[in-house]
Amino acid sequence: NAGVTQTPKFRVLKTGQSMTLLCAQDMNHEYMYWYRQDPGMGLRLIHYSVGEGTTAKGEVPDGYNVSRLKKQNFLLGLESAAPSQTSVYFCASSLVSGRSDTEAFFGQGTRLTVV
């Protein structure tokens, strides 16, 4: 049981390049999230998904796209990277149970630098 795995862990992109961050969870969780965290800041929600085939915008969705084709995977795409997207990206998942969800599990982060 690996929990939440993010790929890659580090990446350097040039401005205008595209890339996809992969988040995989093996806990059969329904909910998945993508956050970004900038120095000295809390986590900001980019997009989230409440189930396979569904996605929704969070606080800072501009410049990002997501897909949830399989329940266990949540992909975050940058179509044309900008220096403002330099950040640490965290993926999380949570299981819905009864009237409240259980804890959310987080990956170890992807450190992305756009030059």
Partner 1 sequence: DAKTTQPPSMDCAEGRAANLPCNHSTISGNEYVYWYRQIHSQGPQYIIHGLKNNETNEMASLIITEDRKSSTLILPHATLRDTAVYYCIVRVAHPRGSNYKLTFGKGTLLTVNP
Residues that bind partner 1 (CB under 8 A): 4, 30-31, 33, 35, 41-45, 48, 50, 56, 58-59, 88, 90, 92, 94, 96, 99-101, 103-109
Round to whole Å and give the CA distance between 85 and 37. 10
Q: Which is nearer to partner 1, 14 or 99 (CB)?
A: 99
Give the closest residue to 87 by CA, choosing from 34, 23, 17, 37: 37
Pick the closer one to partner 1 by CB: 12 or 50.
50
- CB 40, min distance to partner 1, A: 8
Q: End-to-end CA distance of the chain, in Å?
A: 36
